[in-house]
Structure 1
């Protein structure tokens, strides 16, 4: 769910994996993309703020 938040998507998008084949492929593509730079509606960019 955290990876989806990094790309400014809700955790509810995990349910798309229930759609046979297409949902799983779409979810893999979203999880492989780099996160959005800067803050989004789920908070600050964790990479930019550091530990």
Structure 2
């Protein structure tokens, strides 16, 4: 199993336990804005790049 597989498996475990996850990513990877916050920042859904 690769390092990335272990990372994503661990994130799934945390999410399934009800943990809220937050991190910053490049704007171009945030495909679908879900909610614009009062300070102008936003929550967005990211998609896995199937080609990388």
TM-score, structure 1 as length reference: 0.22
Q: TM-score, normalised by structure 2?
A: 0.22
Report which of the two has the higher share of strand: 2
**Structure with larger RCO (C-alpha < 8 A, sep 6+):** 1
Higher normalized helix content (fraction of residues): 1
Give the structure with higher Rg (CA).
2
